[in-house]
Amino acid sequence: MEAMALHLACLRGMCKCGKLAHAMASRGSFGKEIIEGLKPAFNLVYPPRCASCGCSIAEHGALCSDCWGELEFPGTVEKSDASTGERHAGIIAATLYNDMSRSLLLKFKHGGKLSLAPILGRMIASRIHDEEDELPLIIPVPLHRTRIWQRGFNQSAMLAREVVKAGRGELLVDGLVRIKRTRSLGDLPSATRHEILMGAIAVRKGAHDVVKERSVILIDDVLTSGATSTACVDALLYAGADNVRIACFARAARASTRI
């Protein structure tokens, strides 16, 4: 048992044993081969289960075919509507908001199931297709610090990390800050939400130079009326960002949607 613990620590690059085999296992293809070799034993102890319903599946960190089949996917990237004053450069949504995407978000955000972050983040990443040489900056929608203390994490930041792990951009996790705590906006009309959020979000002091003239992808878990994302987009453009797209896990049609 001790040997196995040591070896797993090596695989994670944390073991200080100094053994060559362990050091090699922590990186490169040799390490990957060992991880692959250990998978059957790991799966025996921890059988892969659907991240939503918990039924048995073949691989860890995935959904079963039934749950996957209940998700709805948008056709194309949603363009901004200049007539309504939108200033973003497009909305990239992994799914359309429905019962299944809502259930996944509730488990992730309020149910403590943080293990959903990789699958939700990968689904967002799979919708981002950039052909330019320079990777975009990936910036999550910020939470006020008191909300982070209450919840313990920023769900958008966790999704942003997964998008970056998938190679879709460079992470600037604290590029935006929420300087004013606002009440829950779920039950308010769109115009009121925009009014409340005015001046509530800004680019962090010191991040202006990083953001300037860059393409930015703003990461949110669910996009509803767009009041929060609009405040973020305005702050980023004001700081000199070249363009800002919004990427979310679920795109809701109804402004009153509340997660």
Q: Which is nearer to Zn ion, 50 or 77 (CB)?
A: 50
Task: Using CB under 5 A, pick the residue from 15, 67, 176, 222 that binds Zn ion.
Answer: 67
> How far apart, in whole angstroms, are the C-alpha atoms of residue 179 and residue 33?
47
| Contact call for residue 156 and Zn ion (CB under 5 A) | no
The residues that bridge with 171 in the sheet, in sequence order, are: 138
Supply the minimum distance, in Å, between the C-beta of residue 94 and Zn ion: 17
For the bound state, the minimum distance from the C-beta of residue 57 to Zn ion, rounded and expressed in Å, comes to: 7
- If one asks whether residue 6 binds Zn ion (CB under 5 A), the answer comes out as no
Which is nearer to Zn ion, 53 or 259 (by Cβ)?
A: 53
> Would strands 176-178 and 201-203 be described as parallel, antiparallel, or unpaired?
antiparallel
- Bridge partner residues of 78 (DSSP): 91
Secondary structure (H, E, C), 50-99: CCCCCCECCCCCCCCHHHHHCCECCCCCECCCHHHCCCCCCEEEEEECCH
Nearest to 198 by CA among 230, 238, 175, 224: 230
Q: How far is the CB of 118 from Zn ion (least distance, A)?
A: 16
Residue 198 near residue 191, CB atoms below 8 Å: no
The site string for Zn ion over 12-51 (x = CB under 5 A, - otherwise) reads --------------------------------------x-
Q: Which stretch binds Zn ion (CB under 5 A): 66-74, 112-120, 129-137, 153-161?
A: 66-74
Report the residue number, 103 or 243, with the smaller CB distance to Zn ion.
Answer: 103
> Judged by CB under 5 A, how many residues of this single chain contact Zn ion?
5
Among 31, 52, 200, 211, binds Zn ion (CB under 5 A): 52
List Cβ neighbours of 89 (8 Å cut-off, separation of 6 or more): 80, 243, 244, 245
Partners of 178 in the β-ladder: 201
235 binds Zn ion (CB under 5 A): no
Question: Which of the stretches 63-71, 135-143, 171-179, 217-225 binds Zn ion when contact is defined by CB under 5 A?
Answer: 63-71
Query: Alpha-carbon distance 226 to 93, whole Å?
Result: 13
Inter-residue contact 243 to 89 (CB < 8 Å): yes
CB of 111 to Zn ion, least distance (A): 15
Task: Return the residue of 11, 62, 64, 104 that touches Zn ion, per CB under 5 A.
Answer: 64
For residues 156 and 147, what is the distance between their CA atoms, to the nearest angstrom? 13
The size of the chain, in residues, is 259
Helix, strand, coil percentages, rounded to 5, for the chain: 40, 15, 45
Closest to Zn ion by CB, 48 or 74: 48
Interaction of residue 100 with Zn ion, rule CB under 5 A: no
Contact flag: residue 179 with Zn ion (CB under 5 A)? no
Which positions lie near Zn ion, rule CB under 5 A? 50, 52-53, 64, 67
